[in-house]
Structure 1
Amino acid sequence: MFTRKFSMVLALTMLSAFSCQQALAHAHLKSQYPAANATMEVSPQALTLTFSEDIEPAFSGVEVSNAQQQAMPMKEAERAPKQHNQLIVPLEKPLASGDYQVKWHVLSVDGHKTKGNYRFSVK
C-alpha cells in the first residue's frame, strides 16, 4: 500500500516538474518598442522586442505591415550585442502616419519556436 502511494506521488511530482520546465522553455515577448497599441508622435527608427529567453537571430524575424497589408521595408533583424534576448529591427525609412501590425517569430536558444503579433500607430 505504501509503495503504491509513494509511486503515485513520485510520478505526479515528476510530471509536474516536466510540465513546468516545458512551459518555461519558450521565449515569450516581454516588452516591445513601440509598445503594443501605442500611438507614436513620430516614426520609430527601429523596433525593439525583448523576450523572456535568449533567442537565435538567424531563425527569428519581424514583419511590419500597414493598414493596407503592405510590408514595410526593414533591415535585417539583429540580436542586441549584450542582451541576447532582445531583437532589434532597423527600419529602412520612416513610417508614414497610420496603423501598423507587427508579426514576429523567434527560435529560443533551446530550440522552441514562438510567434505573435501586436499593433501600433504613427500620428
Structure 2
Amino acid sequence: KMRKMRFFQPDAYISVDFLEGISEIYHIEKDEFKPSKETLAFSLGQIQQGTEQRNIRYSRLEKADLNPLQYELQQFCQSIINDQTPPVTAEDGRRALHVARLILNSIDEHTELVKKHWQLR
C-alpha cells in the first residue's frame, strides 16, 4: 500500500507519506543553512543556479504517535475543566467550514466549465 502526496514548488519538493506518517522536504534556499532542533534537517550542499550559489536543505518530519481525535477531545475537555479557550474555537470551525464550502463551490464551477468545453453531459 502507498498513500503519498507530492508537492512540487519552484524552490521545493515535498513528499507526505500518510501511511508511514512521514514528510520529507527538499528546499533550495539562498541563505546559509541553520539546523533546527525540532526536525531532522541537514544541508545536502550547494548548487549553482545562474550566478548565485544556493543551498539544498533536507528536512524530515514524523507525526506524533497519538490518536488525533482522542487528543482533540482531551484538549476540549481540559479547556472546559480549566475554563480556558479551547485550542480550536467555534470560530475556527466556522471559518474551516466556510473555506470547505468555497472549495466545493469552486470544484462545482470548474466541473461545469470542463463539461461545457468538452461537451460532456
TM-score (normalizing by structure 1): 0.26
Structure with the larger helix share: 2
